Amino acid sequence: MSIAERAPASDAMEEELAAFRAEVLAWLEANSTRRSRDVNEFKRRMSATSQSQDRELEHVAACKAWQRRIYDAGYAGLNVPEEYGGQGRSSTEARVFQQEMARYEIDTGVFSVGLAMVVPTLLAHGTEEQKRQHVPALLKGEAVWCQLFSEPGAGSDLAGLTTRAVRDGDEWVVDGQKVWNSFAHIADWGILLARTDWDVPKHRGITYFLVDMTTPGVEARPLRQITGVAHFNETFLDGVRIPNANVLGDPNGGWGVAQTTLMAERMLIGGGGMGLGFRDYVELARHYGRTTDPLIRQRLAQAYTRFEILKWLGERARAAAKAGKPMGPESSVAKLVISDHVARNGDLVLAIEGAEGMLYSADAFEDGFWQQMFLGQWGIRIGGGTEQVQRNILGERVLGLPAESRPDKTDAFRDVPKNA
Ligand SMILES: Cc1cc2nc3c(=O)[nH]c(=O)nc-3n(C[C@H](O)[C@H](O)[C@H](O)COP(=O)(O)OP(=O)(O)OC[C@H]3O[C@@H](n4cnc5c(N)ncnc54)[C@H](O)[C@@H]3O)c2cc1C
């Protein structure tokens, strides 16, 4: 088919999308406030250097209320099939809604793991019962989810995890320790990886579970980050009994299921950028009277280029997804580029602020929001897989460089030397 023949259809689609965007904007205008420098709940929250339990519970309640409003208005799970509570529309429409919502004072942050990582994993691997039990509840904002993957001895080398699950009748009994689990202290449900066979190579003896966080034996202890806020946890699992019906995918097939979650996680982080746009950096430079400084101008131009590259990387990934191509190393590229982006933006912010960059919290401009952005960069760079690990993936899978020698991939996990 020629381009000329295709054009009318694509024009019609563009028009339809523009109409949808206008409808979304009208709803947002009627229901929320556009983010501005004067009224900015996002900046107020992100500049916090500590968080009381009351304030945190208030935040969870606010996120739940927002997610419910979005659901009631018909904008939750736009690209999720209708039988699971979604709208059965396209991922392009879902992205338009996310793009526009990001410009408003709407926060659904505590659902990031659930909506962006758990929903696609459930849809791809869940049983009918699992999908019907969990997806609608997630879309309605009824359940906060956390990811119980990393362990003290298994982060980059996630398949080296040693939390064990042993089958006991219709249940599994889980013992072990997880770490860096965002939202675990406020979560209703968790996605959990545990070792169920020690006599096969490490990737083949892992099972993926859905765990009710109120089950006796689950204990999440908050860990304080460099920003002063404690949003993640170490989670202890002591004789935790999980029904067999809560295994996602096949027993010992958890590594394959986890790939869906991990890819979605890299896309989530790679598609982000601390909720800031290029305009925010220009406004900061204006506030400090630095927009005529040639060095700052040059760095702002570089930042603009990075924002554009990220936008087009996102488009490329979405086009591949739309064409039904399996997501390959694009998620690693996106994660790597966003890591570089947040690191350089952190440096740019401090260069713009100059000596004032040394101030902190209430003493600093916008209550230290920009200092918190600088300190928060490491969370983004490490979470979801470090830069070094993404480079390894790209080196081996895209550039075809020789792989690291990995006898632990073939030996029975029981015989592989472990971290202490
Ligand atoms: C903000 C934040 C939120 C997180 N949220 C969650 C969560 O909700 N749930 C969860 O399960 N986990 C979570 N994590 C954990 C995250 O996935 C791990 O921190 C990450 O995978 C790195 O593992 P690690 O911290 O054990 O570091 P390690 O794996 O110990 O790595 C230490 C250093 O060694 C380097 N390194 C390791 N292996 C290699 C290699 N083969 N080649 C070259 N260099 C290597 C790494 O790049 C890094 O610099 C979160 C982390 C952060 C920072």
Pocket test for ligand 1, best of 180, 268, 332, 373 (most atoms within 8 A of CB): 180
Catalytic residues: 265
Taking CA atoms only, the protein residue closest to ligand 1 atom 27 is 155
- Please check the confidence at residue 109 and state whether its pLDDT lies above 80: yes
Q: Per mean pLDDT, which range of 39-43, 243-247, 356-360, 366-370 is the poorest?
A: 39-43
Mutate to test the pocket of ligand 1, among 231, 382, 394 (most ligand atoms within 8 A of CB): 382
- Measured from the Cα of 156, ligand 1's closest atom is 29
Whole-angstrom Cα distance, residue 293 to residue 352? Answer: 10
pLDDT at 419: 66
Tokens representing 254? 């958890």
Instruction: Give the tens place of pLDDT for each residue, 190-232.
Output: 999 999 999 999 999 999 999 999 999 999 999 998 888 888 9
Helix (H) or strand (E) holding 146: strand 145-148
Which residue in 169, 116, 104, 105 sits closest to 147, CA to CA? 116
In this predicted structure, what is the pLDDT of residue 9? 53
**Among the ranges given (38-42, 176-180, 376-380, 413-417), the one the predictor scored with the smallest mean pLDDT:** 38-42
First to last CA, the chain: 61
Residue from 113, 332, 386 whose mutation best tests the ligand 1 pocket (most atoms within 8 A of CB): 386
Q: For ligand 1, say whether the CB of 85 is within 6 Å of any of its atoms.
A: no
Taking only the tens place, the pLDDT of each residue in 15-50 is 899 999 999 999 999 999 887 765 566 777 777 777
Residue 290's nearest CA partner among 350, 215, 370, 344 is 350
Average pLDDT over residues 88-107: 90
Question: Which residue's CA lies nearest to atom 43 of ligand 1?
Answer: 388
Ligand 1 atom nearest the C-alpha of 382 is 53
Atom from ligand 1 closest to the CA of residue 182: 8
Tokens standing for residue 233: 């946890």
Segment 81-87 shows an average pLDDT of 97
Q: From CA 304, how far away is CA 373, in angstroms rounded?
A: 18
Residue 267's pLDDT is: 78
pTM above 0.85, yes or no: yes
Instruction: Take residue 129 and report the two structure tokens written for it.
Output: 């019962």
Question: Of ligand 1's atoms, which has the minimum distance to the CA of residue 386?
Answer: 47
Taking the CA of residue 157 as reference, the ligand 1 atom at the shortest distance is 29
Burial of 198 (0-12, 13-18, 19+ CB in 10 A): middle
Ligand 1 proximity of 379 Cβ (cutoff 6 Å): yes
Instruction: Please tell me the predicted confidence (pLDDT) of residue 206.
Output: 98
Return d(Cα 229, Cα 113) in angstroms, integer: 18
292 Cβ inside 6 Å of ligand 1: no
Q: Which of 89-98, 178-187, 319-328 has the highest mean pLDDT?
A: 178-187
Residue 236: predicted pLDDT: 98
Q: Closest residue (by CA) to atom 32 of ligand 1?
A: 156
Give the integer Cα–Cα distance in Å for 47 and 41.
Answer: 10
Please give the mean pLDDT across all residues of the chain: 90
Q: What is the pLDDT of residue 4?
A: 41
Q: What separation in Å is there between the alpha carbon of 154 and the centre of ligand 1?
A: 8
Q: How far apart are CA 231 and CA 186, in angstroms?
A: 9
Mutate to test the pocket of ligand 1, among 112, 157, 389, 409 (most ligand atoms within 8 A of CB): 389
122 is written with which tokens?
């459930």
Whether the per-residue pLDDT at 3 is higher than 60: the answer is no
Listed in sequence order, the DSSP H helices in 111-170 are: 112, 119-125, 128-139
Better-scored residue on pLDDT, 40 or 183:
183
| Centroid of ligand 1 to alpha carbon of 360 (angstroms) | 27
Residue nearest to atom 1 of ligand 1 (CA): 379
Q: How sure is the predictor about 271, in pLDDT bands with cuts at 50, 70 and 90?
A: low
Confidence of residue 269 (pLDDT cuts 50, 70, 90): confident
Q: In the chain, what's the furthest Cα-to-Cα distance?
A: 71
Judge if the beta carbon of residue 112 lies within 6 A of ligand 1. no
Q: What is the pLDDT of residue 5?
A: 42
| Beta carbon of 225 within 6 Å of any ligand 1 atom | no
CB of 190 closer than 6 angstroms to any ligand 1 atom = no
Average pLDDT over residues 68-87: 97
Q: What is the pLDDT of residue 311?
A: 86
What atom of ligand 1 comes closest to residue 158's alpha carbon? 21
Q: Whose CA is nearest to atom 7 of ligand 1?
A: 181
